[in-house]
A and B are shown apart, each in its own frame.
Chain A
Amino acid sequence: MADSATTHPATKDPAKGPALLSAHSLARHGAWIALALLILFNLAFTPNFATWQTLNVNLTQVCAIVIVAVGMTLVIATGGIDLSVGSLMAIAGSLAPLIFMGKILPLPYALGIALAFVVPVLVAGAFGWFNGWLITRLRIQPIIATLVLFIAGRGIAQVMTNGNLQPFKTPEFQFIGLGRVFGIPFQAVLMIVIVLAAAWMLRRTVFGRQILAVGGNERAARLAGIPVVSVKRKVYLISGLLSGIAGLIVIARNSAADANLVGLGMELDAIAAVAVGGTLLTGGRATVIGTLLGALIIQLVRYTLLANGVPDAAALVAKAAIIVLAVWLQRPSQG
């Protein structure tokens, strides 16, 4: 895979003989192959598959997941996990309407809209930074540290809005979820920009290499002089910021913010996309493009099943099978 980046390939799979090579390369390109097969299957069997509408439906379903999953990829690359993403989406999603509807401060319309884009994302970022602080300063395991905000974060969003649905009709704000650029949904453009930026960063920048080094071997990274603490705080900050953006997209798309539902279960969707995409869950090897493919595969399988009359519940079982199969195929070979 083009952007697959590993710190120490030699230490990751030390006893990889030529016999394993074909299986290994199959695993590396598995995501592309699976996606291609899915598209071919749909072209052959699903009516009206090759239409703009199908593309748009699938893209809008997947954008928020991919944006969150990019942050999750970076977190997992350092050997961590972020369970709080869904709750942070709820916080950002609940805060934005409060701002542009003037419920906190009566603001001029345009300023309210502008702040509604900026402040919720920054707040979500601040909570993300707090996750990183807990993990690095108090040395709490990522799964527990982010569990705190997973539980409390949605509560904060619910308390802010008293649990009420906030419906709105604000085209300028909703551009982030409903707008189009040359016929392409704006959220898809945003998603692609974020994916490309993150993929470039992970592969081409010092920070990206540091992320992988921390995930590959934290002790070694520290001894090599890599600022482990600051790298970790930054990835959780990024994960928080991206969750905030995803929260805004979701409420803009729904024309309503519901603190009980925005981002519910998102942490699992994002982790599933990362796992299917071929990022190593123990850290040290990560691929942002793979995460995009993983999310597309999961979405396309669901769409294929639904379009061919399989109930949604059965699609859940299929999703479970895909996750296990993908992780099993891509597991690092046992030494």
Chain B
Amino acid sequence: MNNLNTLQLFRGIGRYGVLIALLLLILFGWLRYENFLGSFNVLTVLRYNSMFALVALGMCFVIITGGIDLSVGSTAALGSVVAAMLSPYGLVPGLLGGLLAGLVVGAINAFVITRLNILPFIATLATMLAASGCALLLAGNQSVSVSYDTAFIELGQGDVLGFPAPAWIALIAYLAGSVVLNFTSFGRTVLSIGGNEDATRLMGLPANRVKASVYMASGALAGLAGVILAAQFGAGQPIEGVGWELFAIASVVVGGTLLTGGVGSVGTTLVGVLLLGLIFNILNFENGLGWISLSAYWQSVIRGALLLVVVAVQAKLASRTEDAHP
């Protein structure tokens, strides 16, 4: 009983701690800056961070299985190039093209990891290079302009019911992800692979198939993020996406998902993305006040420090749960 309580406490703090931190940050911004909660700022933040949210969602599933996907950043770049090249044919070809490009990279990851039995870290490191190379080759080493004659750019710049289109896409993806993880047998298998892969296999669950699907989903979501990138900035960008994978990992970890796998939540991952994204926003507002002038470079220092605080707290809580039942 005691074990159960401490475990619940640990999960509870992991789940609500980050939400409380986000709310405190929003409260701070609201009290300190004019227009912080104005619709322009809120919608801009949501529009911009929806790409990262999609990438982090895929990463969340991958990490819950105990794996990692380093290829998401260059997959997004590849997706943006493919989408931009197909954008003259309309919204749907551009969208599907980017998605498909991401899915192909994800399928290669899945094959190398589940069939060739290569560690996810190395397999996705290789596809990261390959996807980046393919994006540069396709784009001829420069950015590819998006066609403004079709509805494609609406995917990044448009609004639906007064809410940015990319934010809708991210929201729907998160709702779907949450349902899949919590209410389907697929989702339970994802969690159980991260908990103990051998046991999952011995129970007769299709561990390899589920793992493969997770990497393919991560690739497709990264491709989708690339589509939004291209639509939002009007160009497919083969060199964009550098460091996205580590930002996504940081968001997932800040959201309380354990890197050892087996425990995780889709909702708090979104909170993690917003928390890290807001730091940049608040830095801009702070500079706007004119009291201090912090260069944009401070944002990585602050993000790193935040990550450090979160993992340190997690580690403390984890060692306490360990002490409770050694």
Contacts and interface: CB of A to CB of B under 8 A. Distances in A.
Interface stretch (A41-49, A226-234, A286-294, A319-327): A319-327
Contacts of A155: 297-304
Given A138-B311, A268-B125, A320-B127, A313 B305 contact: no
Interface stretch (A105-113, A156-164, A246-254): A156-164
Interface stretch (B114-122, B163-171, B204-212): B114-122
Nearest to A315: B133
Given A151-B300, A159-B297, A324 B305 contact: no
B130 interface: yes
B246 A323 contact: no
A275 interface: yes
Contacts of B141: 311, 313
Interface stretch (A10-18, A141-149, A183-191): A141-149
Contact of A271 (B112, B125, B312): B125
Contact of B126 (A81, A150, A163, A324): A324
A281 B259 contact: no
A147 B250 contact: yes
B260 interface: yes
B305 A152 contact: yes
Contacts of A149: 304
Contact of A159 (B133, B242, B301, B319): B301
B125 A158 contact: no
A331 B301 contact: no
B137 interface: yes
A139 B141 CA distance: 43
A12 to B, nearest CB: 15
Nearest to B134: A317
B2 interface: no
- Best-surrounded residue of B129, B246, B247 (most CB of chain A within 10 A): B129
A23 interface: no
Contacts of A70: none
Contacts of B266: none
Q: Is the interface of A mostly helix, strand, loop or mixed?
A: helix
B300 to A, nearest CB: 3
Interface in B279-326: 295, 297-305, 307-308, 311-312, 315-316, 318-319
A282 B249 CA distance: 20
Nearest to A328: B116
B122 A327 contact: yes
B128 interface: yes
B5 to A, nearest CB: 22
Interface of A: 81, 83, 134, 138-141, 143-145, 147-156, 158-159, 162-163, 264-265, 268, 271-272, 275, 281-282, 311-317, 319-321, 323-324, 327-328, 331, 334
Interface of B: 68, 70, 112, 116-119, 121-123, 125-130, 132-137, 141, 242, 246-247, 249-250, 253, 259-260, 295, 297-305, 307-308, 311-312, 315-316, 318-319
Given A148-B307, A327-B119, 5 more contacts: A139-B319, A141-B259, A159-B301, A314-B133, A320-B126
18 contacts: A139-B319, A144-B307, A151-B304, A158-B295, A158-B297, A159-B295, A163-B295, A163-B297, A271-B125, A281-B121, A311-B136, A311-B141, A315-B133, A317-B133, A320-B126, A320-B133, A327-B119, A331-B117
